[in-house]
Amino acid sequence: MAKLYIVPTPIGNLDDITLRAIAVLREADFILAEDTRTTSFLLRHLGIEKKLRSHHKFNEHATVQSVAETIAAGRCVALVSDAGTPGISDPGFLLVRTCIEQGIEVETLPGATAAIPALVQSGFPCDRFCFEGFLPQKKGRNKHLQALADEERTMIFYESPYRVVKCLEQLAELFGPERRVSVSRELTKKFEQTVRGTLAEVLDHFRAAEPKGEFVIVVAGRPKPGRRSECLEEADGPQENRKQ
Ligand code: SAM
């Protein structure tokens, strides 16, 4: 059936692929992959042989229309990124929008993504939250963070290991060193770890232990005026969870 399937893939632990994702990857006419080598590795692991086409941020503007035409002509296409859910800080949005505009059916499978386990693992309220993805690297970064200082919802940021300390420093400066934060690294992998505490405490932790791996930073929202924060208040310094 002519359709675009959005297929999440594991963010570390290969067992996190869903049965439905495997079925779609097996049935699709071809797979659009952010990096064909990364996806070939996953397909080999799953015992699937399938044609792959490149679909990444450097070619998506040029190829999106021809992909939509191919689906409209009756093909079933699956889109994957290197890890997690396509469209979430990864290519996907442009193709989904184009398909919807052209009346092509889109079906998004639920599955792996880094933001949601980091949010739930933080212990901060997750009834309402905002996903900020990657901050601008240079221009506009400070202004962007300033605009979030009064945000009352829990905030989720993706950050490279090279900028984790800088990001925590900026957050402490703009949100105050007492604001609570939860930093999760290497989710679903062998060295998964979550460090929770005030921005000042978690900053000290990562100044002493060089950040390595992939990171999600979850920041508590500003407490409502006159209300106590709903976030955990640990008494003595940062609290660390490591996989056993
Ligand atoms: N599409 C992905 C998703 O659904 O989460 C995000 C892709 S984005 C290019 C990569 C960023 O996601 C990393 O820099 C990191 O911030 C976060 N990330 C991905 N895998 C992770 C993991 N296993 N642990 C912690 N963060 C991860």
Residue range 137-157: mean pLDDT, rounded: 95
Residue 204 CA, ligand 1 centroid: distance in Å: 23
Would you state the pLDDT for residue 234? 56
Report percent pLDDT > 90 for the chain. 90
- Banded model confidence at residue 236, pLDDT cuts 50, 70, 90: low
> What are the sequence ranges of the domains in the chain?
3-108, 115-242
The CATH number for 3-108, chosen from 3.40.50.300, 3.90.10.10, 3.30.2420.10, 3.40.1010.10, is: 3.40.1010.10
Would you state the pLDDT for residue 241? 80
Ligand 1 pocket residues where CB is under 6 Å? 11-12, 81, 83-85, 88-90, 113-115, 158-160, 184-189, 214-216
Residue range 198-203: mean pLDDT, rounded: 98
pLDDT digit string, tens, across residues 84-112: 999 999 999 999 999 999 999 999 999 99
- Backbone φ/ψ region at 140: left (φ over 0), alpha (ψ -120 to 50), beta: left
Choosing from 119, 158, 186 the residue with most ligand 1 atoms within 8 A of its CB, the one to mutate for a pocket test is: 158
Would you state the pLDDT for residue 232? 62
CATH number, domain 115-242: 3.30.950.10
Residue range 35-62: mean pLDDT, rounded: 97
